[in-house]
Amino acid sequence: MRVLAIFVASTLIACLPVANAAAALYACDVRDVKSVDKEGVPVADADSARTLKLYPRFTFDDRTGRLAGLKEEWVLSLLQKAVGQNALLAVSIHKGMGNTGLKILKIDTFEKDKMPFVWISDDRIATGVCTTGGG
């Protein structure tokens, strides 16, 4: 009976999600912002330069999906946690009057000290690096 109890307990522990243990707060420094022009080419313009100056960093909490520090705060749906070689992927799709908005965050977590990210917000693309811990 004791062997069966140990087997059942170890099986239950092995089935618990590992993702909760790897929850992280990412602090991201924005290095570049570009807007997509009418030809579909990312370009640095006055608006993207102003955005970079006003919002040089943001944080993302993968437990809550909260992205803070930009012009607006967003709650993104986490599609994939950063586990092993997998990058963090989060998305938000919102319907507005006559337009649907799309926000995508991808953080490559293979390097733990500097993790490159791509943030796509409608027709604007921001890139930079993140660290964990929120600092």
Tokens 């921001």 found at: 126
Provide the whole-model pTM.
0.77
Domain assignments of the chain as residue spans, ordered by start = 21-132
Task: State how far the Cα of 126 lies from the Cα of 117, in Å rounded to an integer.
Answer: 8
| 105: nearest Cα among 93, 88, 122 | 88
Separation CA 7–CA 99 (nearest Å): 54
pLDDT given at position 13 = 36
Tokens of 20: 């909760």
Q: What is the pLDDT of residue 135?
A: 52
Kindly report, residue by residue over 5-63, the tens digit of the pLDDT.
333 333 333 333 444 445 689 999 999 999 999 999 999 989 889 989 999 999 999 99
pLDDT tens per residue across span 57-111:
999 999 999 999 998 899 999 999 988 788 999 999 988 777 778 999 999 988 8
* Range 21-132: architecture per CATH: Beta Barrel (2.40)
